Amino acid sequence: MIEKVLLKSKFYGSLIGVLIGDCCGAPFEGQLMDSGSKLVLKNYLNKLEGPFFKAPYKKFTDDTALTICVADALLDSKGFSQKQLAKNFVLEYYKDTRRGYGSAVVDVFAKLRATKMADPTGPAYAQFGGNGSYGNGAAMRVTPIALFCANSNKAHLMKLVQEASLVTHTNVLGINGAILQALAIRQCLQLDPNETLDRKKYLSELKEDIVILEKNNDADLDSNYNAYEKQLNAVQLLLEGDVEPSDENVLNMLGHSTEALYSVPTALFCFLRCTSGSLKDKDQRSFRDTLEYAISLGGDTDTIASMACALSGAYFGDAAVVENLLKHCERSEDIRKIADQLFSLLN
């Protein structure tokens, strides 16, 4: 069992990871990350981690905004409900529409608002001809649920993730991506960062859970019935060196798009690739390495970095984060307060 002091640090680290990955990844979203861009990225992060200087906050995107909404729904005095979560999403979006929301989820929010959340999952089910969204939006905001369920069994965690996902994402690929991310965070919370991470064992446990999950999915998924199992096999090939882990191979095998299938496993790979040692071996470098590497792959940089850093923060705790880097991120103190509130529910 992880000591409470360390577990609290992991709560901080995971939510801080969401924020930092989001804020630092957003300026690079969609860029071609060639050698010159990667040097710009390195210098950018070095400056933010260096001696503190006053500057406008690095603003977060919809990733962090909706993560906060999920946390607020979990902390609601009446208990979690899809209707309250939908209300939180709608209020947050219309408070500030310039956070980088995708057009599909904006359509869902508009319909929820027009119907006053009468059917919290109806608009999401109607999307894309009734197929629902398979984007990474549910996965990117799942961290508070993993923390909330830190002392719960996997079945409860997975059920709550599914309920929260369905407000915007009803396609099984979108839901399973969120479940995979939540299970990965759960494992990170349970591991001792002062010991070397057994990446093979970590990945093996995730694969066992995903194989069972995908076998229980509806039979009409055709070739996608074991989609995440295949992606986790690709992660393993890249980690073990059976395939050269070049950027080209990582992107060809795992992807870096807004689809959950081609971003959640990528975030997981980023974390595992940059976490071969222990906290006492590498200190603050592994979190920073995860952040930099996730952004360096290009594509959906803010979301992939946010998910990867949520894993790194949940594994190492906030001791692995350079404080000056965090100071440059919008509402960092509020994120800490949310972590405190979620942690207090465990006592």
pLDDT in tens, 198-208: 999 999 999 99
CB 141 within 8 A of CB 180: no
DSSP 98-128: -S---HHHHHHHHHHHHTTTSSTTHHHHHHH
What average pLDDT does the segment 132-147 reach? 98
Q: Which domain holds residue 45?
A: 4-52+59-344
pLDDT band at 330 (very low <50, low <70, confident <90, very high): very high
pLDDT band at 2 (very low <50, low <70, confident <90, very high): confident
pLDDT band at 223 (very low <50, low <70, confident <90, very high): low
In this predicted structure, the answer to whether residue 88 has a pLDDT above a threshold of 90 is yes
pLDDT band at 280 (very low <50, low <70, confident <90, very high): low
* CB-based burial label for 50 (10 Å; 0-12, 13-18, 19+): exposed
> CA 99, CA 309: separation in Å to the nearest integer?
20
> CA 138, CA 62: separation in Å to the nearest integer?
11
What average pLDDT does the segment 22-50 reach? 97
What average pLDDT does the segment 318-323 reach? 94
The reported pLDDT for the residue numbered 225 is: 74
In this predicted structure, the answer to whether residue 62 has a pLDDT above a threshold of 70 is yes
Query: In which region does residue 218 sit, left (phi positive, over 0), alpha (psi from -120 to 50) or beta (all else)?
Result: beta
How much of the chain exceeds pLDDT 90, in percent? 91
In this predicted structure, the answer to whether residue 300 has a pLDDT above a threshold of 50 is yes
What average pLDDT does the segment 48-68 reach? 96
In this predicted structure, the answer to whether residue 285 has a pLDDT above a threshold of 70 is no
The reported pLDDT for the residue numbered 279 is: 52
H-helix segments, 122-171: 122-130, 137-140, 143-148, 154-165
Three-state secondary-structure class, residue 135: strand
> CA 292, CA 40: separation in Å to the nearest integer?
11
Tokens of 73: 């729904």
What average pLDDT does the segment 17-33 reach? 97
What average pLDDT does the segment 231-254 reach? 96
What average pLDDT does the segment 36-65 reach? 97
Average pLDDT, the chain: 94
Greatest distance between any 2 Cα atoms in the chain: 56
The reported pLDDT for the residue numbered 216 is: 86
Q: Name the one residue in this structure whose structure tokens are 């894993």.
A: 311
The reported pLDDT for the residue numbered 278 is: 53
What CATH number does the domain containing 314 carry? Answer: 1.10.4080.10
Tokens of 47: 């400056």
The reported pLDDT for the residue numbered 218 is: 64
The reported pLDDT for the residue numbered 16 is: 98
What average pLDDT does the segment 258-270 reach? 98
Query: In which region does residue 241 sit, left (phi positive, over 0), alpha (psi from -120 to 50) or beta (all else)?
Result: left
In this predicted structure, the answer to whether residue 106 has a pLDDT above a threshold of 60 is yes
The reported pLDDT for the residue numbered 284 is: 47
pLDDT band at 224 (very low <50, low <70, confident <90, very high): low
Q: How many domains does the chain have?
A: 1
C-alpha distance from residue 209 to each of 205, 251, 331 (Å):
7, 24, 35
How much of the chain exceeds pLDDT 70, in percent? 95
pTM reported for the whole predicted model? 0.96
